[in-house]
Amino acid sequence: MTFRASNDLSAYGRHAPRGWLAGLVGVARRCGTDWSGRRLAFALRAVGVRALAGRPLDVESLGLRMRLYPGNNVAEKNLLFTPQYFDPEERRFLADRLGTDFVFVDVGANVGGYALFAATLGGPRARILAVEPQADIFERLSFNIRQNSLTTVKALELAVADRDGEITLFVDAKNKGETSMRLVGTHGPGTSVRVPAKALRTLVEEEGFPRLDCVKLDVEGAEDLILEAFFRDAPPALWPRLLVVEDAPGRWAIDLPALIAAHGYAVALKTRTNVIYERDTAESRTHD
Per-residue pLDDT of 228-241, as tens digits, reads 999 999 999 999 99
Q: From CA 121, how far away is CA 261, in angstroms rounded?
A: 28
Nearest in space to 162 (alpha carbons), one of 193, 186, 197, 194: 197
Nearest in space to 134 (alpha carbons), one of 175, 164, 103, 163: 175
What domains appear along the chain, each with residue ranges and CATH number?
Answer: 19-85 (no CATH), 88-287 (3.40.50.150)
Q: From CA 169, how far away is CA 183, in angstroms rounded?
A: 9
> Is residue 283 predicted with pLDDT exceeding 80?
no
Residue 274 or residue 4, greater confidence: 274
Per-residue pLDDT of 216-232, as tens digits, reads 999 878 899 999 999 99
Per-residue pLDDT of 132-141, as tens digits, reads 999 999 999 9
What average pLDDT does this structure show over 233-259? 95
Residue 172 or residue 147, greater confidence: 147
Place 189 in a pLDDT band, splitting at 50, 70 and 90.
Answer: very low
Sheet holding 214-217, edge to edge: 153-156, 127-131, 103-107, 214-217, 242-246, 274-279, 265-270
**The 3-state secondary structure of 172-197, one letter per residue:** CCCCHHHCECCCCCCCCCCCEEEEEE
Nearest in space to 253 (alpha carbons), one of 217, 226, 216: 226
Give the per-residue pLDDT at 206: 97
Vertex 205, ends 201 and 208: CA angle to 5°? 145
Give the per-residue pLDDT at 182: 57
> Is residue 288 predicted with pLDDT exceeding 50?
no
